[in-house]
A = this chain, B = another copy of it.
Amino acid sequence: MTKPQISQEISQDPLRFPVTKDVAERAGVSTATVSRVLNGTARVRADKHEAVMKAAEELGFVANGAARALSMRRFMAVGAVVPNIENEAFIRVLSSFQDRLRQEGYTLIAANSGYDIDNVLREATFLIERGIDGLMLVGDIHHPLLHARIARQKIPMVQVFTLSTERACIGFDNAASAGRAASYLLDLGHTRIGVISGLRKDNDRGGARVEGIHAALAARGLRMLPEHDVEISYGIGGGRDGFRQMLASGAEPPTAIICGTDQIAFGAMIEARSRGLDIPGDLSVIGHNDSDFAAFLSPPLTTINVHSAAIGRAAGDHLVSRMAGRPTVRLTEIDAELIVRGSTAPPRARG
C-alpha cells in the first residue's frame, strides 16, 4: 500500500478545505483581491485576475457561505412554509417560486406546517434563525407572535392563495371563486349543493371557500343543509369518507358537490359510482386545483384552477423586488378560474 500522495497545492493541513487566504497566498495577492476577483466587485489588473482564478480553480476553492452571509448581512436564501408539502397545489407553488428565486441566485428553504398555526410559527422561526432574507407563507391567519417576529427582523414576507387587507399577498378571493362555482351549479338548476372540504382549523382559505358557497346559495334564497357541509382530512380516501358521511346523514342527498381538492373530488366520485350514482346525471362534482389527472378521469373533472404556478412565480417576483429594495405592489390578484368539463351537468329531472 503506497503512501497517499499529498499533492503539492495542499500545503499545511490536508484535512482543511481551502479558504480565501490559501487562494490569496497561492496567487500572490491579498484576500481582498481574491474577494474582488471572485465576486467581480471591483476592477483588478488582468494578470492578477487570472492568477486568482487559476489558484481558486486548482485548489477547488468553494467560498464559505456562512462567512459571506455574516459579512454581507445577506444570506441569499428565502424560506417558505406551506401547510402540506405533499399537496399538489403547494408543490407547484414551491416549484415555480424556487425557479424564479434560483434565477436571482437565491436558495429556497421549504418547510411544512401540517395546517397547524403553532407549527407555522415554529418552522418560520427556525427559518428566520437560519438567516433567510425573505419569507413566503400560505394564507393570512397566523400566530400573532409570528408577525411580530417578522417585523422585528424586517424580513420581507409575502402571503399566497389569499388577499389580505394588511399584508402583501399574491392570490385570489377564495370566497368569491368558490361562490362563482356555486353560482354555476345554481345556474344549471341545482338547489341541493354540498361541500367536502379539507380541515378548516387554522385554514382561512378553506373556511372562506365554504362561506362563499353559503353566500351564493343565500343570494338565491337557498341554504345548505348542515349534513351537506362536511370536513375531512385530505386525500382520495377522505373524499370517499366524506361523501359516504353525507349520504349516511339521512338527509336528502345533494345533486352537486364542491370539493376542496381534485383528490377529494375523485374520492367522492368513486364512492358515488360504487353506490350506483351516475356522474354527472345523479351528481355533479367540482374539484379544486386542476390536478394532472383531472382531465383524464371519466367523466373529466370540472375543477377550479387556482393557477398555482403563476402565483409562485409572482410571489418570487415580489420578494426579489422587495429584497432588492425596489418598490412593489402590495396586492397581486391572480384569479382562480372554473374549468368546466364533464363532471357537471344540470340535475336530472326528479323521478
Contacts and interface: CB of A to CB of B under 8 A. Distances in A.
Nearest to A91: B86
Contacts of A110: 108, 110
Contact of A70 (B66, B85, B296): B66
Interface stretch (A48-56, A128-136, A214-222): A128-136
Contacts of A66: 65-67, 69-70, 75, 131
A95 B87 CA distance: 11
Given A85-B91, A107-B109, A296-B236, A62 B17 contact: no
A325 B131 CA distance: 26
A111 B105 CA distance: 13
Contacts of A86: 91-92, 95
Contacts of A92: 86
A255 B296 CA distance: 23
Interface in A284-302: 292-293, 296
B65 A266 contact: no
Interface in A69-86: 69-70, 75, 77, 85-86
Contacts of A62: 125, 128-129, 149, 152-153
A107 B130 contact: yes
Given A62-B149, A86-B95, A129-B65, A293 B236 contact: yes
A9 B112 CA distance: 33
Chain A: interface secondary structure?
Answer: helix
Given A62-B149, A293-B236, A17 B154 contact: yes
Contacts of A270: 296
A39 interface: no
A16 to B, nearest CB: 9
A342 interface: no
Nearest to A79: B107
Contacts of A296: 236, 266-267, 270
Given A110-B110, A236-B292, A267-B296, A129 B63 contact: yes
A94 interface: yes
Most chain B beta-carbon neighbours within 10 Å: one of A62, A108, A125, A153: A62
Given A107-B126, A293-B266, A131 B65 contact: yes
Given A65-B130, A85-B95, A107-B130, 9 more contacts: A17-B152, A60-B152, A63-B129, A64-B70, A65-B66, A65-B75, A107-B127, A108-B110, A266-B293
The 7 residue pairs across chains A and B that have the minimum distance between CB atoms? A66-B69, A65-B131, A66-B70, A65-B130, A66-B66, A60-B152, A66-B131
6 contacts: A62-B129, A66-B75, A107-B127, A108-B109, A108-B110, A263-B293
